Structure 1
Amino acid sequence: MKKLTVLFALVLAITNCQKEKEDILVESYVEESHSYAQPNKAVIKHLDLNIEADFEDKVISGSATYTIENNNATKIILDSKFLDIEKAQADGKDTPFSLGEFNEMLGQSLTIDIKENTKTITVFYKTTSKTEALQWLNPQQTADKDHPFLFTQGQAILTRTWIPIQDSPQIRITYNATVKVPKDLMAVMSAENPKQKSKDGVYHFKMKQPISPYLIALAIGDIEYKSISERTGVYAEKSMIDKVKNEFSDMENMVAAAENLYGDYDWDQFDVIVLPPSFPFGGMENPRLTFATPTVIAGDKSLTSLIAHELAHSWSGNLVTNATWNDFWLNEGFTVYFEIRIMEALYGKDRANMIALIGRQDLDEEIEALKATPEATKLKLDLKGHNPDDGMNSIAYDKGYLFLRTLEETVGREKFDAFLKGYFKKHAFSTITTGDFIAYLNENLLDKNQVTFNTEEWIFNPGVPSNQAIITSDKFENAEKTMLQFLKNNSVDISLTKDWTTQEWVHFIRNFPKTMTKEQMALLDNAFDFTNATNSHIAMVWFEQAINNDYRGNNVDSKIEDFLISVGRRWYVETLFKAYEKNDKIDEALVIYKKSRPNYHSVTANTIDVLLDYKP
């Protein structure tokens, strides 16, 4: 009997051990329409990247070695697009691989033969001239004009164009990298970074926290580093570094304010690199190293809410990540909410509400633009067959924010803050679907506090429900009164605008009446010199109004052209080219676009190609 008991216990132990092993290998990854990977069969867990950047041929070449886990799989599938795949190995030995049929959006599946006990795979590859994530810049396209520059942009599904990888946000990996660059340049990544140039041009990186593939980022240029605090600092070209440090001097205060709201910063270091002006976004929240556009360097910290936004992503997006791009609002809606809370903590409620109101206006414009496709105004999207970029608009950002702000006002800030802090802690270093969030919300906030809320209407219905938070601003009301006074008298009392913030100016300009005359535009331009504005946001909204109102004074056409040639930020560029398109000025737009397009990253160029029906 004793022997049977021991035998039974041994069998039970073996069974439990096998079950535990299966639990480790088999994660319930959800269906992902934007990746060829089949992670429930075989999944990557760690990347060792060994590459060299050749600026003469504009090619990255090398190898990507993955530690993998598999569930008795004999094949593993990666994503690849516009890559030259040279060979593949399994546990260090050459193994067959095949590339699937090419899809314009998704690229190709890269299927590699493995065995049930394969521990690693390696892919040897080169990028090509079509690689979309990379932008190689010549010296004239940089601030200092002395050395070339390279940066990557992986979100949403472009990492596969410079690294063969399982390019789905729900697949989190750690990584190490060795990157060889020309000796007069420095390489930095979304990882532990150098503070000075190496003597041999070889750099080693380590990202010990698991991140989604779209957050793997690389920049190479003649850059310097200056610290702001022990855990914050900035990288930029020499001519920009002091301006950048001064502009972002509140970074440590931002981190402290964020931690006070929602818990510890879990990424050790928060640095920002200001890239050349062709960078297609305001910022990109690459862990440990936010990429930022130089258009936020206004000289008065008036546009630094962008830094608060990217910092907030360290919790919402990087720490807790949308499982698929259909759930993108979980990244951005939370981040806008968090950003505005950081700005309120540092600069007061007035400024926070002004930022929120500008976002609210953006949301109204977006909903109007999407009135022919109302399903696109839902928070939870169905992007199968569509590029994830199609969902990266004000719906995810500003409707998502409005939903959360309405929740906060419904349950009270104290309870909502406790809920969010618990949410980030519970789901740290994991991915989440909209359904997962709703279940967590119900259990940990609504049911717990016996609150009834129309969550499903907010998330699954088009438009904005009637129970929305109402955001007001006395400062914006004053800006509107100033406009009414101007329209009545055709003159403006400059003293009324003496202490206006960027947000007040933006609100003032964006809300010109449709009856605005060219003469009135000229009066305002002469009074405030909008055409020569050095603040990029003010310049953008003024140029939009100039196009809308066919204002040609003060050489504004030339200034708009210069702006579009020198700035690659997609939001700014798309806004102005949309104004040309809306006002039947496509021919004017195309003349400028043919000059400006070579300076744009593929993310921006692809958007404007479609907008203007341009065939490169």
Structure 2
Amino acid sequence: MTSSSNTSFSWDPPAPGVVPPPPAAPKVDQHSHANIDQIHPKHIHLDWAINWDEKIITGSVTHTIGVDADEGISSVILDSSYIKIDTIAVGNKKINDYTLSRQRGTLGSALTIPLPEPAAKGDVVTIKIDYSTTEQCTAIGWMTKEQTLDKKAPFCHSQAQAIHCRSMLPCIDSPSHRCTYTATVKSDYPVLMSALKDDEAHKESVHDPNTYHFKQPQRIPSYLIGIISAVLEFRSLGARVGVWAEPSLANRVQWEFEADAERFLKAAEETVSPYAWTRYDCIVLPPSFAYGFGLNEGWCVYLERLVLQVVHGPEEGPAHRGFSYIIGSKALRSSREGYKSNPRFQRFVPVFQDGEDPDDAFSSVPYEAGSNLLLYLENVVGGLKYFLPYVRAYFYAYHDRSVTVEEWKAHFLSYFSSSPEITQAIKDKVDWDAWLHGEGVELPVDMAPYYDDTLAKAAWALAARWAAFDGAKNQGFGKHDIDGFNSSQVVVFLERLHSGPDVPPTVVKKMDEVYGFSDSKDGEILLRFYEVALEVEAGIYAAKAAKWIQTVGRMKYVRPLFKAINRLDRDLALKTFEEAKDFYHPIARQMLERDLGLA
């Protein structure tokens, strides 16, 4: 495994567990109403029934809650959003005098539940809430069968990040806490959850083919609770890896993933630690889903790219890793440029005003700025020889608990404190305030020298040829220009053009005639091509882009293209949104309304 740093230190990195994490800071979360500094969730049990006619979930949630406050507590406060409460019981006692505060947009309401008698520190409180979701639930998307690929059955899917779990169940909806969960779900269609199937519970229950049981023994934050109910088929990709998809797509998906899934998982284990979640099952969602994939911001992007390097081997790996950073750098710049009028959201650690929705700051900034910070630190401390042992120590320390940026920073500095040389290098080279709290488009350090640009050079050269093309004659352009490119190289070629002077419509049309970009089935290529095509005028490509974004719901695609179309042809943008809004996930629909000035 290679690293770009040539620095060498005389130091033996501590093994995982030798350097403990710092004491946990008091719990503070401005996006949660819950009394998170006084209590912690121990376990959640869900007893649900999916009502397909009304597009709601009915049932109950039972919370097992530990008391942390030295002075004890007299009430429990949970987060709730657009939830219809039926009854609440603490232990065996029904509670009638609970209160639900005024709804504050996505932040929801504070559900205050008085306890029959005070609970002391160390006590465990059990609260059962019978409730139902409502049509205003922001976590759950409902698709008619016509909106699915196979058009045979409706499709229900949830997405709870960042604070949408509270619209699916009253809970402590904060990443500051984690807990296990179990679930029993009744549905007319098969059910999957972000949990393992509980075969024992299924055996012990009254047999009902429409009842499904799940258990999640790993402690997770609330936003990772998820459910899907639909007609799906499973394809095994190995002893512990599999994928679900709509039946007509299942074989194609299996072909797409089976060569790499187990290989990548093993590479991740070799890089970091053994996989603790038992199974690694994925699902390919319908195109209306709002997100591309679930990644835990900077750390996961950094590790994804490191695993890519491991999988491709020492000769080609660094080029693939560097190429991913080059692609990401364009996304980071675009996100930060989009927040020029609100520079608080350009920061790696964004600053929210009271009542602001965390989705307002959703962008590539934490993903790309975070992964670049880790790459920079890797080089500052002397490369992977020293940084990879720290990565393993970090995961050992925090694998089952939440961590703030400041807690991570303290652990990082503590880990390297036994090396005076590395400690001095960190002190001399790392401007923590600029990395964590700096505003503006640029990173604190020019990271280009840290990226292996081998795979980018050909794409940049082709972009330079097209940038110099005046449309007068062909200049030898042909499909052979990109025959040796992978899809990511095509993306970089188009991004290079988009980051330069506006491309004239005649040149865009010629490029499309040569390469056929507007007929591509690759969403990453279509996005970049339409961004180039819509720089100057709407023309034929605004209508084509509008047609495409009515068939996909991923915010990475639809938000920038709606903005581009709206800038050139507002009537078309509004007409397109009105026709497609029911197709989009509630979160995407809400963000698009804001982008278009409709909310």
Distance 1:27 1:604, change over 3 A: same
Maintained 8 Å contact 2:140/2:158: yes
Superposed counterparts of 1:293-372, under 5 Å: 310=295, 331-347=296-312, 348-372=317-341
RCO higher in structure (CA 8 A, sep ≥6) = 2
Tell me which residue corresponds to 1:7: none
Superposed counterparts of 1:525-536, under 5 Å: 525-536=512-523
Maintained 8 Å contact 1:92/1:122: no
Tell me which residue corresponds to 1:559: 544
2:130 maps to which of 124, 128, 139? 124
Tell me which residue corresponds to 1:475: 455
Maintained 8 Å contact 2:478/2:515: no
Q: Deviations over 1:552-579 (max 9, x none)?
A: 35xx444322211110001100010121
The Cα of 1:214 is off from its aligned counterpart by 0.4
Alignment of 1:68 with 2:41, yes or no, is: no
| 2:597 partner letter | D
Q: Deviations over 1:168-205 (max 9, x none)?
A: 111211111000001xx210101003899x96210000
The Cα of 1:381 is off from its aligned counterpart by 2.3
The Cα of 1:74 is off from its aligned counterpart by 1.7
Number of matched residues? 539
| 2:78 partner letter | L
Distance 1:98 1:574, change over 3 A: same
| 1:465 partner letter | P
Q: Deviations over 1:207-254 (max 9, x none)?
A: 111110000000000011111011110011101111111112211111
CA distance in structure 2 between the aligned counterparts of 1:475 and 1:216, rounded to whole angstroms: 39
> Identity of paired residues, percent?
28
1:516 maps to which of 495, 499, 503? 503
| 2:463 partner letter | M
2:186 maps to which of 172, 180, 184? 180
Maintained 8 Å contact 1:29/1:39: no
Point out where structure 2 has 5 or more consecutive residues left out of the alignment: 1-22
Alignment of 1:58 with 2:27, yes or no, is: no
CA distance in structure 1 between the aligned counterparts of 2:129 and 2:522, rounded to whole angstroms: 46
The Cα of 1:43 is off from its aligned counterpart by 3.1
Secondary structure of 1:125's counterpart equals strand
The Cα of 1:499 is off from its aligned counterpart by 1.2
| 2:173 partner letter | D
| 1:203 partner letter | Y
| 2:217 partner letter | K
Tell me which residue corresponds to 2:373: 403
Distance 1:399 1:73, change over 3 A: same
1:594 maps to which of 565, 578, 589? 578
Alignment of 1:246 with 2:255, yes or no, is: yes
CA distance in structure 2 between the aligned counterparts of 1:559 and 1:580, rounded to whole angstroms: 11
Q: Which moved more, 1:332-341 or 1:63-72?
A: 63-72
CA distance in structure 1 between the aligned counterparts of 2:418 and 2:525, rounded to whole angstroms: 45
Distance 1:83 1:342, change over 3 A: same
Q: Deviations over 1:463-503 (max 9, x none)?
A: 42136452241332222222333434644143232110111
Secondary structure of 1:113's counterpart equals strand
TM-score by length of 1: 0.84
Distance 1:266 1:533, change over 3 A: same
CA distance in structure 1 between the aligned counterparts of 2:502 and 2:216, rounded to whole angstroms: 55
The Cα of 1:129 is off from its aligned counterpart by 0.8
CA distance in structure 2 between the aligned counterparts of 1:511 and 1:163, rounded to whole angstroms: 45
CA distance in structure 1 between the aligned counterparts of 2:300 and 2:448, rounded to whole angstroms: 17
Secondary structure of 1:116's counterpart equals strand
Maintained 8 Å contact 2:537/2:568: no
Maintained 8 Å contact 1:403/1:468: no
Maintained 8 Å contact 1:406/1:469: no
The Cα of 1:550 is off from its aligned counterpart by 2.5
CA distance in structure 2 between the aligned counterparts of 1:373 and 1:614, rounded to whole angstroms: 19
Secondary structure of 2:484's counterpart equals coil
Tell me which residue corresponds to 2:15: none
Tell me which residue corresponds to 2:5: none
Alignment of 1:413 with 2:419, yes or no, is: no
| 1:597 partner letter | K
2:268 maps to which of 244, 258, 276? 258
CA distance in structure 2 between the aligned counterparts of 1:430 and 1:159, rounded to whole angstroms: 19
Distance 1:560 1:372, change over 3 A: closer
Maintained 8 Å contact 1:570/1:603: no
| 1:278 partner letter | S
Superposed counterparts of 1:127-138, under 5 Å: 127-138=133-144
CA distance in structure 2 between the aligned counterparts of 1:193 and 1:562, rounded to whole angstroms: 39
Q: Which moved more, 1:74-83 or 1:88-97?
A: 88-97
Q: Deviations over 1:62-110 (max 9, x none)?
A: 0001112224312101111101001100112211311112211311111
Maintained 8 Å contact 1:79/1:167: yes
Maintained 8 Å contact 2:306/2:321: yes
Q: Which moved more, 1:538-547 or 1:160-169?
A: 538-547
Alignment of 1:89 with 2:89, yes or no, is: yes
Distance 1:28 1:456, change over 3 A: closer
Maintained 8 Å contact 1:416/1:445: no
Distance 1:558 1:370, change over 3 A: closer
The Cα of 1:352 is off from its aligned counterpart by 2.3
Secondary structure of 1:48's counterpart equals strand
Q: Deviations over 1:392-421 (max 9, x none)?
A: 212211111111111111221110111111
Secondary structure of 1:119's counterpart equals strand
CA distance in structure 1 between the aligned counterparts of 2:445 and 2:324, rounded to whole angstroms: 22
Q: Structure 1 residue runs of 4+, over 6 Å off? A: none
Distance 1:267 1:477, change over 3 A: same
Q: Which moved more, 1:510-519 or 1:145-154?
A: 510-519
Distance 1:380 1:518, change over 3 A: closer
Tell me which residue corresponds to 2:233: 224
Secondary structure of 2:59's counterpart equals strand
Superposed counterparts of 1:571-586, under 5 Å: 571-581=556-566, 583-586=567-570
CA distance in structure 1 between the aligned counterparts of 2:232 and 2:74, rounded to whole angstroms: 45
1:35 maps to which of 32, 39, 58? 32
The Cα of 1:358 is off from its aligned counterpart by 1.0
Tell me which residue corresponds to 1:283: 293
Tell me which residue corresponds to 2:491: 506
| 1:361 partner letter | K
Maintained 8 Å contact 1:28/1:40: no
CA distance in structure 2 between the aligned counterparts of 1:550 and 1:83, rounded to whole angstroms: 45
CA distance in structure 2 between the aligned counterparts of 1:578 and 1:462, rounded to whole angstroms: 23
Maintained 8 Å contact 2:177/2:401: no
CA distance in structure 1 between the aligned counterparts of 2:362 and 2:460, rounded to whole angstroms: 30
Secondary structure of 2:212's counterpart equals strand
Alignment of 1:49 with 2:18, yes or no, is: no
Q: Deviations over 1:488-528 (max 9, x none)?
A: 46441432321101111111122224342222112111111
Q: Which moved more, 1:589-598 or 1:64-73?
A: 64-73
CA distance in structure 2 between the aligned counterparts of 1:515 and 1:142, rounded to whole angstroms: 37
| 2:311 partner letter | L
The Cα of 1:28 is off from its aligned counterpart by 5.7
CA distance in structure 2 between the aligned counterparts of 1:277 and 1:427, rounded to whole angstroms: 34
| 1:602 partner letter | P
Maintained 8 Å contact 1:36/1:78: yes
Alignment of 1:191 with 2:160, yes or no, is: no
The Cα of 1:370 is off from its aligned counterpart by 2.4
Alignment of 1:439 with 2:419, yes or no, is: no
CA distance in structure 1 between the aligned counterparts of 2:553 and 2:198, rounded to whole angstroms: 27
